[in-house]
């Protein structure tokens, strides 16, 4: 009888003490990737939604899905969810360039001189979908719009030269400040 009672109390306590784990949503990431390429190929179709100024000088260069960058983006989004922070620099002081290089995607050594360097990442949080996050970054809603827009749409020389992309979208049912984390990495091997 005592063991049954103990097991019942332990089980009940475990149910209340369980932290829900973040979940990677790859379908959302792929939809966001498709949207970015669609905007790059047909910016005129999105002028009404985003405004003329937001889509000025959009690069027509298509982005190429890169599995290494996708794994880094997923790991970055998951790390933010698990450790409950929102920043380009992780709590250990490392930035996206370090994580990208460490995963095996070779970068110019000049881009690795500072351990917190970020030349390739845009992040968003608390968006219902990855597409909502992309749209918010392009519009500039709750984000440094110009920098994200330039990165995602390749509106300047540097960002237009970036062609490899990986996206991570993580949902967090509970236990974190935000309900979702979005990480977009658009990079290249050298200048």
- Strands 180-187, 164-171: parallel, antiparallel or unpaired by DSSP? antiparallel
User: Is residue 118 assigned to a domain?
Assistant: yes
Rounded CA gap, 172 and 34, in Å? 23
User: Is residue 80 assigned to a domain?
Assistant: yes
Rounded CA gap, 174 and 171, in Å? 9
Domain total in the chain: 1
Q: Is 136 helix (H, G, I), strand (E, B) or coil?
A: helix
Write down how long the chain is: 191
The H-or-E segment that residue 124 falls in is strand 121-125
Sign of CA dihedral 47, 53, 59, 65: negative
- The one-character DSSP state at 112 is G
Give me the tens of pLDDT residue by residue for the chain, a chain 191 residues long. Answer: 544 444 444 444 444 444 569 999 999 999 999 999 999 999 999 998 988 777 889 999 999 999 999 999 999 999 999 999 999 999 999 999 999 999 999 999 999 999 999 999 999 999 999 999 999 999 875 555 578 999 999 999 999 999 999 999 999 988 889 999 999 999 999 86
- The one-character DSSP state at 20 is P
CA atoms within 13 A on the CB side of 11: 6
Q: Would you state the pLDDT for residue 5?
A: 43
CATH number, residue 40: 3.40.33.10
Rounded CA gap, 152 and 11, in Å? 47
Rounded CA gap, 140 and 62, in Å? 22
User: Is residue 98 assigned to a domain?
Assistant: yes
User: Is residue 158 assigned to a domain?
Assistant: yes
Q: Which range of residues forms the domain containing residue 37? A: 24-187
- Strands 164-171, 64-65: parallel, antiparallel or unpaired by DSSP? parallel
Rounded CA gap, 149 and 144, in Å? 9
Q: Would you state the pLDDT for residue 11?
A: 44
**Predicted TM-score of the model (pTM):** 0.87
Q: Would you state the pLDDT for residue 13?
A: 44
- The one-character DSSP state at 188 is -
Rounded CA gap, 55 and 57, in Å? 6
User: Is residue 96 assigned to a domain?
Assistant: yes
User: Is residue 13 assigned to a domain?
Assistant: no
Chain centre to alpha carbon of residue 144: 15
User: Is residue 6 assigned to a domain?
Assistant: no
């Amino acid at each position: 009888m005592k063991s049954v009672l103990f097991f019942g109390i332990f089980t009940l306590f475990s149910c209340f003490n369980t932290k829900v784990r973040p979940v990677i949503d790859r379908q959302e990431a792929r939809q966001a990737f498709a949207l970015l390429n669609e905007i790059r190929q047909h910016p005129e179709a999105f002028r009404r939604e985003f405004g003329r100024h937001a889509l000025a000088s959009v690069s027509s260069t298509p982005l190429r899905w890169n599995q290494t960058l996708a794994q880094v983006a997923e790991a970055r989004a998951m790390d933010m969810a698990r450790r409950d922070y929102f920043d380009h620099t992780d709590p250990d002081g490392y930035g996206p360039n370090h994580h990208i290089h460490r995963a095996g995607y070779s970068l110019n050594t000049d881009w690795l001189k500072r351990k917190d360097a970020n030349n390739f990442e845009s992040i968003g949080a608390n968006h219902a979908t990855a597409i909502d996050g992309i749209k918010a970054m392009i519009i500039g809603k709750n984000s440094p719009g110009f920098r994200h827009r330039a990165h995602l749409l390749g509106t300047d020389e540097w960002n237009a030269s970036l062609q490899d992309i990986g996206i991570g979208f993580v949902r967090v049912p509970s236990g974190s400040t935000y309900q979702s984390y979005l990480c977009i990495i658009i990079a290249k091997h050298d200048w």
